[in-house]
């Protein structure tokens, strides 16, 4: 198990008191939208990245003369090496880092030129979005990368799902008391459709269609394919696109605008109105090619309902694929939540398509409420700007959380529960140990051709280690630790609830997740692709890492190694063996006994029923010996008569320090996540 320090999230940046402007920068896979809000609060404005354009394709290339071009400029003739869909956490890939840096640098330059009242210095906060599914390490790497691109400006990173929630709340589409309800956010972009489930402000991204992304750009591609099939110059146009790929991108951009016009006012086209489209290509000085169409409602419906090879293992229509994905989301949420979401929020430009809402409402009947974010193509960018403004205005709350973290009270609270942790851990290891591990090996010893007790000890140790490492063993341990976790949760609540109440928040808004160490999460916590709420993953991963550390170091590893044949297990089994042999063994020393080979004939003098009865009769005492030693190995308290007392006490102190560090890292990260999420609730 990796050290949980790798899971710790960076502290939220402390914003400068003189912060004036917040710029929400929604750099999406397909499109980019930018907004501005006053740091002190006020109206959010959408910004023109290029003159006349408030949404541009996320694309960058080199124009004539080597100048950088972005957005729809990359579709012009003469543009070379166009990059698209480069938003990614894999920044060690030059195909990601290079285009991302070039696009950001040029976009910020254009914004500065077009909006001279925004300084883009240390009075400006740039807020970027990222998917909820990105890990803490990926977020930090992405945030650090962005920071290197924005010059003197401040910057921060916010989950896109949180930005959507903030937009809907601030626009009055989500009431204060609904924010902690189960909410499904469907963000529909040109390249992907992302499903994020949020419960009690904690998001988890549903991995639906990740291998075959469902983006609205597929619709204009199909619309173009059908239009091209009717074009007299089809072959010549396709040949020209091979020579000039930017011309194909320009064509798709025009079809995209036509699609958006249609879905902005479907009713008008349903009455028979058509949408004219005409593109001219000049492959030579005198040669001209034309692609013309009078697009009707039937054309757009055909584009949605024609099976497309890219959308499934077999060709699948866009509408049918979306219907299937919503059904998958419903089933997944049922498993996560035990019921449907209370609210569904549709965002992203593609959510304007009327049939989208109809499909969602078919799957999620009342009382689930379906709501479309205002200005859906800008919803994330608006939420990012608002998140930055909220961050600025709730600085004092987050400062107090930071002071609580820095005070050491959290680690002291964890330390105060360690005795209960040790008791629960030791009980889990030793419960039924006689029946499960010791008795089967004593019976095998009775029948075996060789009869050394040291071999019995080795096999008992191996059985115990195998069980500890198994899923059954992990689940047993987590169930045993549940009362300890509840105690830790309650004591941390006593620390954080006064702070919550001071800011007129619910007393439990900073609490640790209640079901974090449920055995049902054990496997998911170690699988980065499994569905698990972020704070649950942090806590569960830390508990599993702690259990792994104690098992590896204290029970079977290089520390006290209690359950190795050379550790405390040997005298415990030797004591049991002496008791079985009674007077005959009184004068033997442990080393002699462990290596003595009793003839099989002699061993079989002890009837099996008697051996079973005798070993079981000593079960409580045997298990208590092991249990006490495990507790001492964590909490100390060795008797003065123990010749190795000083060394053992030192090892116990070292183990406690390691356990506290692992748990503290996770609790601090979870608390930071909760505080950032809760800040939106502050009035």
Q: Tens digit of pLDDT for each residue in 356-403?
A: 999 999 999 999 999 999 889 999 999 999 999 999 999 999 999 999
> What distance in Å separates the CA atoms of residue 356 and residue 376, rounded to the nearest whole number?
13
Q: Are 550 and 425 in contact (CB under 8 A)?
A: yes
Residue 79, pLDDT > 50, answer yes
The residues, ordered by sequence, that sit 6+ positions from 455 with a Cβ below 8 Å of its Cβ are 445, 448
Top-confidence residue, 601 or 444: 444
Share of the chain above pLDDT 90, in %: 55
The least confident of 164-173, 478-487, 560-569 is: 560-569
> What distance in Å separates the CA atoms of residue 3 and residue 565, rounded to the nearest whole number?
28
| Tens-place pLDDT, residues 92-104 | 999 999 999 999 9
What pTM does this model have?
0.81
Instruction: Give residue 9's pLDDT.
Output: 43
Instruction: Give residue 29's pLDDT.
Output: 86
* Residue entry with tokens 């009075």: 123
The least confident of 254-258, 452-456, 615-619, 678-682 is: 452-456
Top-confidence residue, 470 or 330: 330
Share of the chain above pLDDT 70, in %: 89
Asked: is 4-173+375-393 a CATH 3.30.420.40 domain? The reply is yes
Copy the structure tokens of residue 386: 């608002």
Task: Please report, for the chain, the start and end positions of each structural domain, with discontinuous segments joined by +.
Answer: 4-173+375-393, 217-311, 401-676
The least confident of 97-111, 157-171, 476-490, 566-580 is: 566-580
Show the beta-strand stretches assigned E in 152-254: 154-159, 183-188, 193-199, 202-206
Instruction: Give residue 604's pLDDT.
Output: 61
Instruction: Give residue 437's pLDDT.
Output: 82
Instruction: Give residue 584's pLDDT.
Output: 44
Helix (H, G, I), strand (E, B) or coil at 62: strand
- Residues 206-213, mean pLDDT to the nearest whole number: 85
> What distance in Å separates the CA atoms of residue 458 and residue 455, rounded to the nearest whole number?
5
Omega of the bond leading into 367 within 30 degrees of 0 (cis): yes
> What distance in Å separates the CA atoms of residue 325 and residue 568, rounded to the nearest whole number?
56
- Residues 635-652, mean pLDDT to the nearest whole number: 89
Question: Model confidence at 8, in pLDDT bands (50, 70, 90)?
Answer: very low
- Residues 404-416, mean pLDDT to the nearest whole number: 96
Instruction: Give residue 588's pLDDT.
Output: 46
| Tens-place pLDDT, residues 350-363 | 999 999 999 999 99
Question: Model confidence at 664, in pLDDT bands (50, 70, 90)?
Answer: very high
Instruction: Give residue 234's pLDDT.
Output: 96
Instruction: Give residue 556's pLDDT.
Output: 74
> How many CB atoms lie under 10 A from the CB of residue 210?
12
Residue 561, pLDDT > 60, answer no
Question: Model confidence at 603, in pLDDT bands (50, 70, 90)?
Answer: low
- Residues 439-457, mean pLDDT to the nearest whole number: 74
Q: Are 189 and 57 in contact (CB under 8 A)?
A: no
Nearest C-alpha neighbor of 207 from the set 541, 526, 532: 532
When mean pLDDT is compared over 76-80, 83-87, 519-523, the highest value belongs to: 83-87
The residues, ordered by sequence, that sit 6+ positions from 31 with a Cβ below 8 Å of its Cβ are 55, 56, 57, 58, 189, 190, 349, 377
Instruction: Give residue 252's pLDDT.
Output: 92
What are the start-end ranges of the H helices in 289-342?
Answer: 297-305, 318-337
- Residues 656-664, mean pLDDT to the nearest whole number: 96
Q: Which run of H or of E encompasses 61?
A: strand 59-62
Top-confidence residue, 499 or 598: 499
Residue 490, pLDDT > 80, answer yes
Mean pLDDT over each residue of the chain, to the nearest integer:
87
Instruction: Give residue 5's pLDDT.
Output: 36
Nearest C-alpha neighbor of 164 from the set 444, 401, 376, 315: 376
Question: Model confidence at 155, in pLDDT bands (50, 70, 90)?
Answer: very high
């Amino acid at each position: 198990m990796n050290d949980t320090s790798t899971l710790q999230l960076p502290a939220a940046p402390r914003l400068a008191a003189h912060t004036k402007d917040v710029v929400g920068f929604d750099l999406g896979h397909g499109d980019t939208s930018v907004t501005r809000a006053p740091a002190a609060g006020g109206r959010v404005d959408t910004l023109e990245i290029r003159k006349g354009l408030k949404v541009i394709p996320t694309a960058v290339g080199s124009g004539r003369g080597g100048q950088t071009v972005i957005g729809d400029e990359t579709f012009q003739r003469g543009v070379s090496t166009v990059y698209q869909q480069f938003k990614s956490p894999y920044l060690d890939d030059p195909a990601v880092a290079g285009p991302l840096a070039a696009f950001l640098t040029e976009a910020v330059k254009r914004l500065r030129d077009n909006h001279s009242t925004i300084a883009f210095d240390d009075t400006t906060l740039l807020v970027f979005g990222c998917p909820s599914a990105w890990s803490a390490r990926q977020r930090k790497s992405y945030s650090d990368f962005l920071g290197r691109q924005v010059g003197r400006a401040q910057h921060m990173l916010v989950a896109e799902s949180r930005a959507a929630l903030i937009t809907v709340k601030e626009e009055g589409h989500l009431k204060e008391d609904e924010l902690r309800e189960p909410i499904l956010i469907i963000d529909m972009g040109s390249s992907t459709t992302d499903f994020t489930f949020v419960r009690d402000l904690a998001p988890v991204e549903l991995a639906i269609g990740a291998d075959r992304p469902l983006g609205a750009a597929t619709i204009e591609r199909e619309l173009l394919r059908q239009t091209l099939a009717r074009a007299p110059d089809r072959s010549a146009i396709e040949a020209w696109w091979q020579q000039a790929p930017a011309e194909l991108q320009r064509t798709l951009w025009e079809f995209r605008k036509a699609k958006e016009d249609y879905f902005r006012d479907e009713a008008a086209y349903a009455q028979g109105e058509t949408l004219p489209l005409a593109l001219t290509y000049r492959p030579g000085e005198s040669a001209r090619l034309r692609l013309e169409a009078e697009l009707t409602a039937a054309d757009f419906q055909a584009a949605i309902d024609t099976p497309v090879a890219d959308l499934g293992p077999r060709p699948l229509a866009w509408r049918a694929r979306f219907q299937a994905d919503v059904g998958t989301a419903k089933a997944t949420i049922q498993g996560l939540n035990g019921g449907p979401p209370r609210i569904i929020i549709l965002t992203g430009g593609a959510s304007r398509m009327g049939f989208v809402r109809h499909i969602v409402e078919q799957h999620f009947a009342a009382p689930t409420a379906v709501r479309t974010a205002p200005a859906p193509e800008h919803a994330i960018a608006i939420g990012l700007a608002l998140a930055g403004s909220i961050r600025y205005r709730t600085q004092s709350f987050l400062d107090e959380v930071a002071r609580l973290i820095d005070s050491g009270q959290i680690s002291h609270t964890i330390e105060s529960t360690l005795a209960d942790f040790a008791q629960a851990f030791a009980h889990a290891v030793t419960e039924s140990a006689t029946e499960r591990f010791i008795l089967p090996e004593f019976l095998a010893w009775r029948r075996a051709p060789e009869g050394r007790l040291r071999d019995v000890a080795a096999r008992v140790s191996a059985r115990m280690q195998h069980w500890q490492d198994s899923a059954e063993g992990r689940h047993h341990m987590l169930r045993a630790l549940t009362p300890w976790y509840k105690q830790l949760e309650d004591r941390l609540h006593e620390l954080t609830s006064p702070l919550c109440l001071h800011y007129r928040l619910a007393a439990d808004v900073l609490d640790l997740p209640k079901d974090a160490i449920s055995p049902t999460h054990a496997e998911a916590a170690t699988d980065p692709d499994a569905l698990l709420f972020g704070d649950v993953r942090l806590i569960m991963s830390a508990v599993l890492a702690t259990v792994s550390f104690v098992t590896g170091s204290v029970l079977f590893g290089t520390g006290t190694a209690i359950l190795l044949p050379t550790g405390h297990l040997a005298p415990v089994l030797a004591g049991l063996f002496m008791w079985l042999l009674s007077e005959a063994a009184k004068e033997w020393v442990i080393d002699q006994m462990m290596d003595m080979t009793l003839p099989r004939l002699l061993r079989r003098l002890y009837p099996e029923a008697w051996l079973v009865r005798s070993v079981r009769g000593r079960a409580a005492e045997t298990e208590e010996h092991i249990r006490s030693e495990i507790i001492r190995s964590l909490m100390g308290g060795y008797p003065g008569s123990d010749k190795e007392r000083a060394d053992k006490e030192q090892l116990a102190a070292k183990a406690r320090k390691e356990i506290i560090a692992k748990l503290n890292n996770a609790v601090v990260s979870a608390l930071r996540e909760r505080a950032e999420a809760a800040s939106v609730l502050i009035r």
